[in-house]
């Protein structure tokens, strides 16, 4: 994997690529809020000899810092598109975990005919109809919560709350340790992320996926109402939904072999 950068008006985004052929399918891995590119280590190891790979540290996350927090979800999608254009990548398959899945849906809204495929891992639909007014209200007010809880508690809940496996929990702890000693930055990134998510939902756009899609969710995913959202998403759209038995919110770290198999089967059939 080769580390590269892309300059935006708010700061520099760091991303990694493994491009074997511009004609090959490109898997674009988008990690969730407060996680970084390492979230997909098991997927990259499995796929980098088979497909082109792009993965980033999302704006303001990990190496993509310093970064001004005056962007929205659509800015992230636009910057992603510019990175893909910079790499001369056409028809990407976006694999988004949690917040990464929301970025993927914003991308699909802006560039409806450019996606070759979309895989949601423990994410949820971006349409307004799926969330309550109370949930929107809470999403906009999360920064003080993260700012005032003791860091040790955040570290414990942030690792044990998203993964069920030893590997998944240890990896999340490593990614959270990036912000050790700077809880304010962690709270700002998390609070800003939830806020721009709520604002994107409030736009009440269709966020229609016009490409083949797959929904994946862990049976032990207790992050927010992810399980409820995925059931409704599948019921309303008929997009295939696969439950990952025993996996948490970061199911690709809890059951990497199963996730890799599902992604490979999906890509083979699109």
The model's pLDDT over 143-186, given as tens digits with 9 standing for 90+, comes to 999 999 999 999 999 999 999 999 999 999 999 999 999 999 99
pLDDT(244) > 90: yes
Task: Write out pLDDT tens, residues 187-239.
Answer: 999 999 999 999 999 999 999 999 999 999 999 999 889 999 999 999 999 99
Domain extents in the chain = 2-126+206-268
Task: Write out pLDDT tens, residues 25-53.
Answer: 999 999 999 999 999 999 999 999 999 99
Q: What is the pLDDT of residue 153?
A: 96
pLDDT(23) > 90: no
Report the mean per-residue pLDDT for the chain. 97
Q: What is the pLDDT of residue 22?
A: 83
The pTM (predicted TM-score) of the whole model is 0.98
Topology of domain 2-126+206-268 in CATH is Rossmann fold (3.40.50)
Task: Write out pLDDT tens, residues 140-151.
Answer: 999 999 999 999
For 3, phi then psi, to 5°, come to -80, 135
pLDDT(68) > 90: yes
pLDDT(90) > 90: no
Q: What is the pLDDT of residue 93?
A: 98
Confidence of residue 126 (pLDDT cuts 50, 70, 90): very high
- Mean per-residue pLDDT for 230-258? 98
Q: Return the closest-CA partner of residue 87 out of 164, 158, 26, 141.
A: 26
- Tell me the three-class secondary structure of the chain, residue by residue: CEEEEEECCCEEEEEEEECCCCCCCEEEEECCCCCCHHHHHHHHHHHCCCCEEEEECCCCCCCCCCECCCCCHHHHHHHHHHHHHHCCCCCCEEEEECHHHHHHHHHHHHCCCCCCEEEEECCCCCCHHHCCHHHHHHHCCCHHHHHHCCHHHHHHHHHHCCCCCHHHHHHHHHHHHHHCCCHHHHHHHHHHHHHHHHHHHHCCCCCCCCCCEEEEEECCCCCCCHHHHHHHHHHHHCCCEEEECCCCCCHHHHCHHHHHHHHHHHHHCC
Q: Is the peptide bond before 66 cis (omega within 30 degrees of 0)?
A: yes
């Amino acid at each position: 994997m080769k580390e590269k950068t892309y300059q935006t008006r708010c700061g520099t985004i760091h991303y990694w690529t493994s491009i074997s052929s511009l004609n090959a399918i490109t898997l674009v891995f988008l990690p969730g809020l407060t996680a970084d590119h390492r979230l997909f280590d098991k997927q990259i190891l499995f796929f980098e000899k088979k497909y082109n790979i792009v993965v980033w540290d999302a704006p303001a996350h990990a190496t993509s810092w310093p970064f001004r927090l005056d962007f929205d979800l659509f800015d992230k999608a636009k910057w992603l598109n510019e990175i893909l254009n910079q790499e001369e990548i056409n028809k990407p398959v976006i694999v988004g975990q949690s917040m990464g899945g929301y970025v993927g849906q914003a991308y699909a809204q802006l560039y409806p005919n450019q996606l070759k495929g979309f895989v949601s891992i423990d994410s949820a639909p971006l349409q307004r109809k799926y969330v309550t007014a109370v949930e929107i209200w809470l999403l906009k007010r999360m920064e003080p919560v993260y700012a005032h809880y003791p860091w040790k508690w955040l570290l414990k809940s942030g690792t044990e709350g998203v993964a069920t496996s030893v590997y998944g929990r240890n990896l999340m702890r490593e990614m959270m340790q990036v912000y050790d000693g700077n809880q304010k930055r962690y709270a700002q990134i998390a609070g800003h992320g939830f806020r721009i998510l709520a604002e994107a939902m409030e736009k009440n756009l269709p966020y229609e996926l016009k490409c083949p899609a797959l929904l994946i969710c862990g049976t032990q995913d207790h992050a927010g109402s992810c399980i409820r959202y995925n059931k409704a998403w599948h019921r309303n759209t008929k997009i295939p939904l696969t439950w990952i038995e025993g996996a948490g919110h970061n199911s690709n770290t809890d059951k990497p072999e199963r996730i890799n198999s599902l992604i490979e089967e999906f890509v083979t059939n699109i």
